[in-house]
Amino acid sequence: MNGDQRAQLEKLSMNLARAALTAQGAFAEMALRQAEHPAALSPDPFHVAPALTEVMGRLAAQPDRLMRAQADLFARYLDLWQNTARRAGGESPAPVAEPARGDKRFADPDWSENPVFDVIKQSYLLTANWMNGLVADVDNIDPMSKRRVEFFMKMLTDAFSPSNFLASNPAALREVMATGGESLVRGMENFSQDLERGGGKLSIAQTDPELFTIGVNVATAPGKVIFRNELIELLQFSPTTDEVHEIPLVIFPPWINKFYILDLRPENSMIRWLSSQGFTVFLASWVNPTPELATRTFEDYMREGIYEGTAAAMEQAGVDTVNTVGYCIGGTLLSSTLAHMAAKGDKRIASATFFAAQQDFSEAGDLLLFSGEAWLGDLEKKMDEGGGVLSGQTMADTFNALRANDLVWSFFVNNYLLGKEPKPFDLLFWNSDQTRMPKTLHLDYLRRFYGNNQLAKGEFVLDGVTLDLSTVKTPIYVQSSKEDHIAPARSVYKGAKLFGGPVTFMMAGSGHIAGVINAPAANKYQYWTNDTLPATLEEWQSGAVETPGSWWPNWAVWLKARSGGMIPARDPAKGKLKPLGDAPGTYVKVKS
């Protein structure tokens, strides 16, 4: 061993020791914090044990099926061993198991080119696919129990991916050797910082929040706050055309997130694009609730959100009707309000557009798994500890768990195993900027919509009115996304069928966010349209026409036909309501 090699070995040894000490200190601090809150150490945080018992019991009752599955797994492993031997002999056999399309965990070339890592990868895929398939094939059990176990099994197999461990991740091992162990030191420092930021609970950084400032490089569309109450600030954005349509557009985004997903950057801002199309755009920016708002209800959000928001927009614009948009949970609120308005004879809303919004929750996304009474009991305890609100971090953890490979494990590898800083990404900054949830509203929403599906069943009572969506005759445009895991297209379609008036249903490519935020200039994805509304989504799809690119222009044509004639553009500073400040307002800047 020469001097350079000796120096490199000493550097590596010292850095490994430093990394170990940093990790030890972080784990010790975490243990102390967790000891102060023993409830956080629940042995079954996802409440999957009863469902798992049911599924395993069913499997045990079918020993022949289990034996066939085990024999199939063994045969697949024999194929892998034979291929490994053939590869060692210089052949190039086809893989026995390959990652699914879009799986980024095994993108490093060594996962395929290095025989050792290739065997590790294929062994993992064989076992993970077998375990997930075994659960998926179980029959004659409660569908929700099966779905809960499928979700848990996917989480479990994703967590045990060899890409998540230093010793079996070729990129991480190369980085350790190339930096003399410094990558591990940085990784453990990142780990310690994330634990500190999470108060003893790991809060993985997805991007550098210091690189983004609301109102400076995100949420920059110019405008004014023209109305404020305890729940919303109503923003009116500045026009960019000389003339605008007479009937303005009022947008109600979800209160689970902040509104600026609609205004991240100028080039993909829906708000700016709508303004460029000649629409007067108003938007409700929901408050980030404090414990003082813990007892606010769904009815409060209807009255102070949609009723007061649309009233302020009509007064400001000098009109007696508005067009509206409801995104995600904001759409659920809007559809409920439309039924309430129908019962009251209120015709202020000329049209309603829904982005990824559900009314029928019988086939809702994976959030449905977090609406059982045991889970809600845990949520209620957390909210009581938080003074009556659910922390934004808890909301973030829930949504991240739904896409763990993309939103958890990829950052685990990047930040800790590779020792790198997360890349600046405005979408992930928005994703981590979650809001709190008021206790009464949130529990009621999860129980009555996800748990009991009361709106679709005609059992939802609001302000003494039993809501019936079939009485809603307002023209409606429904956007869904083909790969939406929160508001699946099938669920959105079932909701679209509940309305009593003319409904236009459209399906976009991609998922819950990219399917909605797809500016025409990006020239990405596609969308499907069908003028009919048959019984099922599958029937609708069979007759649908695919169009490449953004769906926004299609919606704009529909919206313009319902927005009246052209009038001089409206200046937010010169309306009937005195401006209370500049957009994006103050509510959006409140951190959780």
Instruction: Just list the catalytic residues.
Output: 328
Closest CA to 405 of 156, 134, 140, 124: 156
d(CA 392, CA 411): 19
Residue partners of 578: CB distance under 8 A and separation at least 6: 226
d(CA 311, CA 306): 8
Q: How far out from the chain centre does Cα 465 lie?
A: 32
- Strand pairing report for 437-438 and 503-508: unpaired
Query: In 17-29, which positions are buried (b, 16+ CB within 10 angstroms) versus exposed (e)?
Result: ebbeebbeebeee
d(CA 588, CA 285): 7
Residue partners of 552: CB distance under 8 A and separation at least 6: 270, 273, 518, 519, 520
Helix (H) or strand (E) holding 496: helix 489-496
* Residue 541 DSSP label: H
* Residue 356 DSSP label: S
For residue 584, what are the CA distances in angstroms to 91, 153, 223, 283? 62, 42, 7, 10
Q: How far out from the chain centre does Cα 408 lie?
A: 13
Closest CA to 371 of 391, 397, 398, 408: 398
Closest CA to 275 of 321, 238, 328, 323: 238
d(CA 331, CA 320): 22
Q: How far out from the chain centre does Cα 145 lie?
A: 23
The 8 Å CB, 24+ separation contacts for 300-304 are 300/231, 300/441, 301/231, 301/255, 301/333, 301/441, 302/333, 302/336, 302/337, 302/340, 302/462, 302/463, 303/463, 304/229, 304/230, 304/231, 304/232
